[in-house]
Structure 1
Amino acid sequence: MGTLSIGTAPDSWGVWYADDPRQTPWTRFLDEVVAAGYTRIELGPYGYLPTDPVRLKDELDQRGLTITAGTTFEQLHRTDGWEGTWRDVAKTAELTAAMGVKHLVVMPSMWRGDNGEIVEDRLDHEGQARHGRQVTELGRRLAEEFGLQTQYHPHADGHVDTQDTVERFLEETDGDYVNLCLDTGHISYCRGDNLELIRKYPDRIGYVHLKQVDPKVLAEVEAEGLSVDEAVRRGVMCEPPNGVPELPPVLDALAALDGDLFAIVEQDMVPCPPDVPLPVAERTLAYLRSHGGGESR
């Protein structure tokens, strides 16, 4: 039996960008994370938290917080995507490694834009295979140059999103360098099966994001052909236990794996009034604790 170590992330406070005046200031975010009862966080978008590792460590130490992972996007489905991807990924990886962290969560580029238009063709099997090789190479370099394990995060409206594209991605990548950040909300948003992924690929589950999807809102945005960004604005990612997947069975399945995992709560709220996140974070942590959701400290 493994251990699930619970944490939270900036986007549970409505933070999607490095700098946006509508967002919760980073000092308030850190203070409220502590007030909610968490001791672990992700870096969030590069530049939101201080990028000087000495200063960042001091701010975290003052509050008894640690970092679980950095987060970044890749463009490796494109034949010319390596240079831009490495430039963006490397700066996040450098800060992540400087904080003594072992995980980097990497997300795909989007095939659908914010207003719902199709901006890129979906990858065919040849494209998926090429993409898998490129992400494996990214994972190899991140391991060798920064000592980081790549945890790949499927993302709604991204080039790895649905159950079949996630499974194909896992078949096309090398588990020595790339594993899965299982985001329960994005998998459910794309009508996938979280428990089936855990069952079929137990050795590839390296990290977890916990969230739920409101089925009613999801049906509405599917019927209207809306983007995931618009769906989030409509509240598709809802507070547990009001959505899917049911989290207790997922928590049980994850705890049964032979290994320790970070399980990071992501509420995905944009835009977000400043007084909303803290009570939600408190209730969510209490809910997870009441259903065997691992250790928060």
Structure 2
Amino acid sequence: MSDGSTTARIALNPIQWMASDDGWLDPSKAPAPEERLALIKQSGFDAVMAEVPADWAVDRYKALLDEVGLALAPGYAVCRSDGRDGKEADVVAGAAAVARQHAELGMTEIGLGLAMGKEKPRVLHPAQAFDADESRVEAVTKLIEQISDVMLAEGVRPSLHPHVGTWIETDDEARAVLEALPASRLGFLPDTGHLAWAGADVGALIKDYAERIPFVHVKDCRLSVAAEGREKGWGYQKTVLAGLWVEPGRGELDLTGILSNLPDAFDGWLMVEVDRPDIADPYESAQASARWMRSTFAPSES
């Protein structure tokens, strides 16, 4: 991707419709699936993150996507355990069910990240490697290995997604998990914004693990806000409300430089995420994101 042109495909995870007044995400704020998917298509995206609405059959979801004219990009699974809290068996069973549904959608890749919570230690002290613990990372890695086994049995490979506010947040923590498991069992899903907020050299991480990246969360941010929040001891939500997240191309990350570390032949997904829109209207936020992505990366049509 060194010249800006790419065979990568562009998609949207439409979370800007879920941004809540407290700096969090509230799925109940989003329009109904029929309206939301139509708006995504109208905004300029041709693909959306796979996420079957609650209580919907897979066939109903597929039919709506066909009607609207949207392709599917890989979805996301959440590991709600640190590997030593007694919830491991339930988490593994849940992961198998998510992978089975993903396979029904025709997907072979899925993101996998750890859970957040408003009162969790790293949400209160974000992007600081708060309470870092090698033994916890080892326990998480063993749990991810079990999750990988059950997901691969369904034909779906998980990809590690480091995320601020979780126990896999930093460059070192991400590398520890990736080094412990081979690419055949665990891919890598980098998030440009979360990794940058956590102080990682995002370009270097992408370059080092490029061959195991099926998709990227393309997220822009204001590192100046991240730095101020760290200096003043702000929590996750306050940092977000101070204007951390922005549409791609409107922030302080060199997204083109970061993503140039992907292979020239990269044909995976560049998935836009705007956790809290800087452009207040979510639809206009999606429009701006689609315009910038298309003008910057000139992707071929999927």
* TM-score interval (norm. to shorter): 0.7 to 0.9
In 2, Cα distance between equivalents of 1:271 and 1:84: 38
Question: When the two structures are superposed, what TM-score results if normalisation uses the length of structure 2?
Answer: 0.85
In 1, Cα distance between equivalents of 2:188 and 2:174: 9
In 2, Cα distance between equivalents of 1:272 and 1:85: 36
In the alignment, is the contact (CA less than 8 A) between 2:92 and 2:150 conserved in 1?
no
Change (3 A) 1:131 1:293: farther
Matched, 1:137 2:146: yes
Q: What is the aligned partner in structure 1 of residue 77 from structure 2? A: 72
Query: Structure 1, residues 192-235: CA drift from partner, whole Å, max 9, x if none?
Result: 11111122222232321001111232123222323323333333
Counterpart pick for 2:237 among 205, 225, 229: 229
In 1, Cα distance between equivalents of 2:261 and 2:278: 33
Matched, 1:35 2:21: no
In 1, Cα distance between equivalents of 2:181 and 2:289: 34
Instruction: Write out aligned runs for 1:1-297 (5 A).
Output: 3-14=7-18, 16-18=25-27, 20=28, 22-44=29-51, 47=53, 51-79=56-84, 80-110=86-116, 113=119, 116-117=123-124, 122-144=131-153, 146-256=154-264, 258-269=265-276, 276-295=281-300, 297=302
Point out where structure 1 has 5 or more consecutive residues left out of the alignment.
Answer: none
In 1, Cα distance between equivalents of 2:193 and 2:142: 26
Instruction: Please identify, of 71-80 and 203-212, the stretch whose mean Cα deviation from structure 2 is larger.
Output: 71-80
Change (3 A) 1:296 1:265: farther
Change (3 A) 1:37 1:111: closer
| Over 3 Å off, 4+ runs | 15-18, 114-123, 270-273
In 2, Cα distance between equivalents of 1:296 and 1:247: 21
In 2, Cα distance between equivalents of 1:81 and 1:122: 21
Instruction: Please identify, of 232-241 and 163-172, the stretch whose mean Cα deviation from structure 2 is larger.
Output: 232-241
User: May I ask how many residue pairs the two structures share in their alignment?
Assistant: 289
In 2, Cα distance between equivalents of 1:244 and 1:293: 21
Give the secondary-structure state (helix, strand or coil) at the position aligned to 1:135: helix
Instruction: Please identify, of 117-126 and 30-39, the stretch whose mean Cα deviation from structure 2 is larger.
Output: 117-126
In 2, Cα distance between equivalents of 1:125 and 1:248: 33
Point out where structure 2 has 5 or more consecutive residues left out of the alignment.
Answer: 20-24
* Sequence identity percentage: 21
In 1, Cα distance between equivalents of 2:279 and 2:115: 24
In 1, Cα distance between equivalents of 2:97 and 2:56: 9
In 2, Cα distance between equivalents of 1:69 and 1:224: 37
| Paired letter, 1:263 | L
Instruction: Give the RMSD, CA atoms, in angstroms.
Output: 2.8
In 2, Cα distance between equivalents of 1:253 and 1:105: 20
Query: Structure 1, residues 46-76: CA drift from partner, whole Å, max 9, x if none?
Result: 645x631111011000011122122121034
Change (3 A) 1:188 1:140: same
Question: When the two structures are superposed, what TM-score results if normalisation uses the length of structure 1?
Answer: 0.86
